[in-house]
Structure 1
């Protein structure tokens, strides 16, 4: 009996589509049970990611406003009180934010603020996708459904957040290296205690949490690409 190419094609098994989340579990959208046996690639942000964005985004928006609206937001400016009064102290701790850099027409501060605005828009786009394009997803193996993105919106959200986190980490590293290679010109006048409490600890958070996001979402991207190229679901590391 001769088997035609079209017959062999018709009997071929479809390649599986993997499903991944930030918690590295496999999930199947509830609507998949309406006639489709394929599981979609899904993503839901971890609690740590949501907590970090809830804390950092208002602070970054505040910081960006101060930087891009200088000198109005600086001491003596019409917008300084009451919103930007803490920057009087911070401008004395870090001269990049104070009158020294502004009067020297140092462009680093404003350039950093402009990138802050881009990053913020990317993080907001990620949160918008999760808030308005997600759906209830059943967890494989039981458990209560979770809110998750699936398919293309999930891929777009992870790519946007991953790219924004890389920008945040890179910019923060550049900020620290700028001090190192300038002989700590803007922060070297501080006591050790002030430097640790008012500069290292606050700015260190923007190294730790973006690194976590890069690790978690980068693992999801690698796992998704692995599954797409091999047809074998692979958990993100």
Structure 2
């Protein structure tokens, strides 16, 4: 039988969301503020680190922006949707202690994984058009490793929350069976 404490999120899941929520807002801010967020722009000081990244991953760069490529802002919009779901999950899990919190978190992390896999697939199918100019060490350190975290950790969260959801479904099923017998 599930108890109230079994629906409490593990600390590592809460930590992931608390750490990534501001990172996601920061990243989306860079994307939606272009060209002002680029080097030389009046808002560049907020996103100083992107001076390197926009040259590693050209999807974030000046040329893609000037060509009107929409993928960067499309993924930033998806990031915001995921982020609001992440915030909703934390609220539902910690403030409301709602049984739907695991479902919201589960949906959110699977959006994250799906979007990140799409990002990788887009790069593969365009012949590494945005990162292929880099040395392998730069690709691994600045692109694969950080982007890989957005696949691995949300997948682990999805697995953990999925187990919670399955447990809740079994409990609900058992309660339903008992009430039908009465």
> TM-score of the superposition, structure 2-length normalised?
0.91
- For 1:60 and 1:100, locate their aligned partners in 2 and report how far apart those are by CA, in whole Å: 23
Secondary structure, counterpart of 2:47 in structure 1? coil
Match of 1:78 in 2: 42
Secondary structure, counterpart of 1:194 in structure 2? helix
Counterpart pick for 1:56 among 4, 20, 33: 20
Counterpart pick for 2:151 among 187, 192, 207: 207
How many angstroms does 1:70 deviate by?
1.1
- For 2:70 and 2:95, locate their aligned partners in 1 and report how far apart those are by CA, in whole Å: 38
Largest Rg, 1 or 2: 1
- For 2:70 and 2:22, locate their aligned partners in 1 and report how far apart those are by CA, in whole Å: 23
Match of 1:118 in 2: 81
* 1:103 counterpart = 2:66: yes
* 1:216 counterpart = 2:179: no
- For 1:125 and 1:225, locate their aligned partners in 2 and report how far apart those are by CA, in whole Å: 21
When residues 228 and 47 of structure 1 are mapped into structure 2, their CA distance, relative to the original with a 3 A threshold, is: same
Matches within 5 A, 1:32-43: 42-43=6-7
* 1:190 counterpart = 2:134: yes
- For 1:216 and 1:130, locate their aligned partners in 2 and report how far apart those are by CA, in whole Å: 14
Which ranges in structure 2 are unaligned for 5 or more consecutive residues?
A: 177-182
How many angstroms does 1:28 deviate by?
5.2
- For 1:191 and 1:71, locate their aligned partners in 2 and report how far apart those are by CA, in whole Å: 26
More strand as a share of residues: 1
Match of 1:46 in 2: 10
Match of 2:57 in 1: 94
Question: What is the RMSD of the two structures over their aligned residues, measured on CA atoms?
Answer: 1.6
How many angstroms does 1:189 deviate by?
0.5
Which ranges in structure 1 are unaligned for 5 or more consecutive residues?
A: 1-17, 20-26, 30-41, 134-148, 233-237
More helix as a share of residues: 2
Match of 1:140 in 2: none
Secondary structure, counterpart of 2:44 in structure 1? coil
How many angstroms does 1:184 deviate by?
0.2
